[in-house]
A and B are shown apart, each in its own frame.
Chain A
Amino acid sequence: MKREGKIQVWQDYQKDIADDHYFYVRSCIRQNFFPGSEQTFLKILRRELNKDIYENPHHTSCSGIGYHSDIVPFDTIQTIVARQFALMTEAGYQNLAVSCITSFGIYNEIIETWKEFPSELEKVRSLLKKATGREFEIPQNVAHASDIIYKFRDKIASIGENRLVNQKTGKPLKIVEHIGCHYSKMFPSKGVGGAEFPHVLVGMIESWGGEVVDYPERRHCCGFGFRQYLVMSNRGYSVSNSRKKFESMEPYKPDAILCNCPGCPMFLDRWQYVIQEMEGKTYGENGQGIPVLTYEEMAGLVLGYDPWNMGMQMHQTNVEPLLDKMGIHYDTDLKYAGKDGKLIGKPKMVSCGC
């Protein structure tokens, strides 16, 4: 693998990422799947980077899952998106910071549609006005939250307490990077580094001391795919896609998987457990799984945040092997403690690698 070739590709796909004053839009599903991640993002921006980031409680789902499942029509989703933009305009912001990859794809798709078909924009302006009385401006800058962490990755590294280095051997940890399909496969120019060799997560891993695993199926979807997952009898498609990736990355012995999408860490994490139950197969060392992290969790670990405060006990594939390698102290007894220190109960299902 030649690095110079990748650097050339990365240079071809650079995007503007706003420096400050973000209007933050949350993801519907992340707060259930990885409940501490978005809070960690806000904490990093506000406390570590001194940025102004605002969120409005009236913000709703972008309805992207419904749209991609053929339930929500295009006019409806356009109007919902217009309403989010109206909230941003009313709050005096111009830079959208999107937590979800599905939403990020939706926002880009709709903004591009309006550029190509101005009549759609006029229609939506009128629909929103009729329905809510609101007006809106199109954001000047649309960044995914991972773009923002990417932008400040060196700063995070410089103030961080931990590095992606195996404390016992001194060697960089091997990290698989996995971007969400709707991050840059729809519009390669909207993602840092494009779609074939995306740089957004690679940049973080390298700045924080890790080594990127470039394995054959790195481009492949995690398997979420909306319809494959929403109907239970279709979930075989989902798990089979994830499995294809695990089989492909296994020879590289990765220490962790890093994702920037709500769905990917969910499926790459949960399906490891399911495959273990179905086939008795695990992909990490010593019968354990490969820990799967969101970029906020990984940034948080670098910054020395407590893993349980970031909600990492919610992972079905245990994260302890990674914490041990990084030399991060954690209290096993407090893994399932609530915010008030009382135990909230251990999960009944056996997690992967337990």
Chain B
Amino acid sequence: MKDFGFSVIKQRTIDYDQFDGRLLNEVLEMEPSFKVCLSCGGCTATCSAADLVSFNVRRMNLLLRRGETVELETEIQKCMLCGKCMLVCPRGINLRNVIMLIKKSIHKYKPVNL
């Protein structure tokens, strides 16, 4: 293939039609409280880890719902499982269980071609 000094750029747009919902569905089935997240960010504000590393608990919901499995796997490693997020969540989500469920199953759904 010819080199022109530039190339086609990979699109950043989330292509929802490519979304693989299996991990999300598994997590929601085991922890239905996760369905009602409002994305308020209370969890991130109180997070013990977020103050020290770039970790955002609120985004776990989004990464899961957009099928960003690769990033999700790296991100959840940063959670210290202290559970402070659960103390502030206005909708009573069992976030620690959500993290544990992701950890348990994520290896099954990692995209192969990456």
Contacts and interface: CB of A to CB of B under 8 A. Distances in A.
A236 B6 CA distance: 5
Contact of B1 (A232, A235, A240, A280): A280
Nearest to B5: A232
A232 B8 contact: no
A278 B5 contact: no
Interface in A102-116: none
A155 to B, nearest CB: 43
A286 interface: no
A232 B6 contact: yes
Q: How large is the interface on B (under 10, 10 to 19, 20 to 34, 35 or more residues)?
A: under 10
B7 to A, nearest CB: 5
A233 B6 contact: yes
Contact of B4 (A234, A240, A278): A278
A235 B6 contact: yes
Contacts of A232: 5-6
B1 A237 contact: no
A274 B7 CA distance: 9
Interface of B: 1-2, 4-9, 11
A240 B4 CA distance: 14
B5 A240 contact: no
Q: Which 9 A-B pairs have the closest CB atoms?
A: A277-B2, A235-B6, A236-B6, A240-B9, A236-B9, A240-B8, A232-B5, A236-B7, A278-B1
Interface of A, secondary structure class, is helix
Nearest to B13: A244
A243 B11 CA distance: 11
B7 A278 contact: yes
Contacts of B4: 235, 274, 277-278
Given A239-B6, A240-B9, A275-B8, 6 more contacts: A237-B9, A239-B7, A240-B11, A243-B8, A278-B4, A280-B1
Nearest to B10: A240
Residue among B2, B4, B6, B7 having the largest count of chain A Cβ atoms under 10 Å:
B6
Contacts of A280: 1
A221 B53 CA distance: 40
B1 A234 contact: no
Contact of B6 (A234, A243, A244): A234
Contacts of A234: 6
A235 B9 CA distance: 10
A122 interface: no
Nearest to A280: B1
5 contacts: A232-B6, A240-B9, A243-B8, A277-B1, A280-B1
Nearest to B4: A274
B2 A278 contact: yes
